[in-house]
Chain A
Amino acid sequence: GELMDLIRTEGQRMTAAQPSETTVGNMVRRVLKVIREEYGRLHGRSEESDQQESLHKLLTSGGLSEDFRTPYPSLRANVIEAINEMLIELEGTTDNIAMQALEHIHSNEVIMTIGYSRTVEAFLKEAARKRKFQVIVAECAPFCQGHEMAVRLSKEGIETTVMSDAAIFAVMSRVNKVIIGTKTILANGALIAVSGTHTLALAAKHHSTPLIVCAPMFKLSPQFPNEEDSFHKFVSPQEVLPFTEGAILAKINVHCPVFDYVPPELITLFISNIGGNAPSYIYRLMSELYHPDDYEL
């Protein structure tokens, strides 16, 4: 009980410091779930007993939920071991995702992506070892991370083209698949990704092109898109309109949002380290990773 409260307070402090970095909160929640499981195991509860709320539990439970007050000396060692396992899993996520590349990319395909994502880069590099295909990268203004992605991909010998964000819709008719990375996956299957991804997703939907999201499981966050969680981050508008344009700046408002919200209907498939899933299945994965009491840290 005390251990969980300690971790929870630390988690709250960390998430308050940088609310757009949701992975911090996700990891804290996973640690809390690990602690609950280990405690349950030591307490003698069977593995199958469901920790989640369900109609079934509503009918059969005899009393209130357990408190975590009984001390167990071996609890600490078990928890540390479980956390180490988790660390090993985290380090292997990019490789796990890349291993699935061959099933999804075929020869002579035209793939579109946006901005720079290390996961997508590893994914495409792995496929390039056995298949020949082309990649079109949208440069993702104003930071133009797409340029760096294109340089890295072409070093591996993949035919790469860079184009501006405005041309996404125009080129979409020639594209076979869209593969992107993301910052966060929300509980309803929606994405928070770099600015410009929503445009890309709408264009893909219009042309019925499959949209594949490559993201490791630690990016799955149990939050829903509501106003309270303001996931938007704005940075200096210097990139959009530089400060040298002083005369205009006084008369206009300039914004530079970093993230975009992409609704779940536009996404075809999520590829993560545990395999491919449809957006409507995300709620299930969430119940395996986190405990409902921890959704609100």
Chain B
Amino acid sequence: PDAPRCLSDLIETFRAQLRDDPDVASAVAAIRALLGFLKQDRGETIQGLRNSLRDAIDTLSRVDSSVAVSSGGELFLRFISLTSLEYSDYSKCKEIMIERGEIFLTKVSLSRNKIAKLCHPFIRDGARILTHAYSRVVLRVLEAAVEAKKRFSVYVTESQPDEAGQKMAKALRKLNIPVIVILDAAVGYIMEKVDLVLVGAEGVVESGGIINKIGTNQIAVCAKAQNKPFYVVAESFKFVRLFPLNQQDVPDRFKYKADTLKTSQNLKEEHPWIDYTSPSLITLLFTDLGVLTPSAVSDELIKLYL
């Protein structure tokens, strides 16, 4: 009886967070909503808690099918399991979980600033940067570079079908950065003029590759062909336990939006929203755990999940 009401509350909290603060990462909003759910859960056992949390995470992914929400949920579940191993008394355990959850949320909200601090020295004065679609982390990094008094110009791909690139260009113009929007098809043409490529990521997979808006793989291949460094910025909660070997291996539930998954007749005719870029094309990843080479990513994931 309680369950459906709690779940719809959960969805409402999640949606409200995204509405009120458009700058927040969707995974952070998901974790905050899950923490709220945890607080008002009236179960008595860890098992019951885990089951209801699994249901909650499923509901959330049905609302927003991005990789980030899934990885955030996975991380939260892992967090619960790790804490429950330490304390056997349920009520004490719950208190500790809530306390640690709050600390975790404060830490991750600082992660974007940490990444910006690590990344902006890599942007030289007079650099020409190519970026793809709309990424709040990249925006923060470029903001930090402007604060460090660097002069640079940015090329943004238009990023169809939702024209996210235009949104990025508008935000960059507000920061007084000279920006040019290019067609997605013009990446190969513009690559010779560019000094470095900087993209965000929706998910970072175990092999060190990334899952990002469709078109990222093309940019990475062009950059490799012309010997330009390809940098990725991502917060650590985006690390997922997937190991795709090619584009087909990425699960369908991430490739398409949640509504499409529910209503479409034949998924083969839908356009995927994300693609997978292999680690051999990536030069460095900037995360709040430090500057990592792609091979270091799997190490970090193992440390967490083992």
Contacts and interface: CB of A to CB of B under 8 A. Distances in A.
Interface of A: 50, 53-56, 58-63, 187-189, 224, 226-228, 280-284, 292, 295
A59 B284 contact: no
B293 A189 contact: yes
19 contacts: A55-B300, A58-B104, A59-B75, A59-B78, A59-B79, A60-B83, A60-B100, A61-B100, A61-B103, A62-B96, A62-B99, A187-B291, A189-B293, A227-B124, A227-B125, A280-B295, A282-B293, A283-B295, A283-B299
Interface in B233-257: 236-237, 239
Contacts of B295: 280-281, 283
Contact of A227 (B75, B99, B121, B304): B121
A60 B290 contact: no
A55 B301 CA distance: 7
Contacts of A226: 121-122, 124
Given A228-B121, A283-B292, A283-B293, A55 B83 contact: no
B224 to A, nearest CB: 11
A59 B214 CA distance: 31
B239 A55 contact: yes
Given A58-B108, A60-B100, A282-B293, 9 more contacts: A53-B288, A53-B290, A54-B289, A56-B303, A59-B304, A60-B79, A63-B103, A283-B292, A295-B290
Given A58-B107, A60-B82, A224-B284, A53 B293 contact: no
A284 B304 contact: no
A172 to B, nearest CB: 21
Nearest to B101: A59
- Considering residues B96, B103, B125, B237, which has the most beta carbons from chain A within 10 angstroms of its beta carbon? B103
Interface in B267-301: 284, 288-293, 295-296, 299-301
Contacts of B288: 53
B231 to A, nearest CB: 11
Interface of B: 75, 78-79, 82-83, 96, 99-100, 103-104, 107-108, 121-122, 124-125, 236-237, 239, 284, 288-293, 295-296, 299-301, 303-304
B134 to A, nearest CB: 26
B82 A280 contact: no
Contacts of B301: 55
B104 to A, nearest CB: 7
A59 to B, nearest CB: 4
Main SS of the interface on chain B? helix
A73 to B, nearest CB: 34
B289 A53 contact: yes
B84 to A, nearest CB: 12
Contacts of B296: 283-284
B60 to A, nearest CB: 19
A151 B121 CA distance: 44
A228 B123 CA distance: 9
Contacts of A284: 296, 299
Contacts of B292: 283
Contacts of B79: 59-60
Contact of A55 (B75, B122, B125): B75
B137 to A, nearest CB: 17
Given A60-B83, A224-B291, A280-B295, A54 B284 contact: no
A295 B82 CA distance: 30
Contact of B284 (A53, A188, A282, A292): A188
Nearest to B119: A226
Nearest to A225: B122
Contact of B289 (A55, A61, A189, A280): A55
A61 B293 CA distance: 25
Contacts of B108: 58
Contacts of A227: 121-122, 124-125
A55 B284 contact: no
A226 B299 CA distance: 24
A62 B291 contact: no
A53 B96 CA distance: 21
- Considering residues A59, A282, A284, which has the most beta carbons from chain B within 10 angstroms of its beta carbon? A59
Contacts of A295: 290
Nearest to A64: B103
A54 B289 CA distance: 6
B236 A58 contact: yes
A197 B57 CA distance: 54
Contacts of A228: 121
A33 to B, nearest CB: 15
What are the 7 closest A-B residue pairs judged by CB atoms, nearest first?
A55-B304, A280-B295, A227-B124, A283-B296, A59-B79, A228-B121, A226-B122
Contacts of A60: 79, 82-83, 100
A31 to B, nearest CB: 21
B300 A54 contact: yes
A54 B303 contact: yes
Contacts of A58: 104, 107-108, 236
A62 B82 CA distance: 12
A284 B291 CA distance: 12
- Considering residues B82, B96, B292, B295, which has the most beta carbons from chain A within 10 angstroms of its beta carbon? B295
B295 to A, nearest CB: 4
Nearest to B295: A280
Contacts of B82: 56, 59-60
A55 B303 CA distance: 7
- Considering residues B79, B108, B290, B303, which has the most beta carbons from chain A within 10 angstroms of its beta carbon? B290
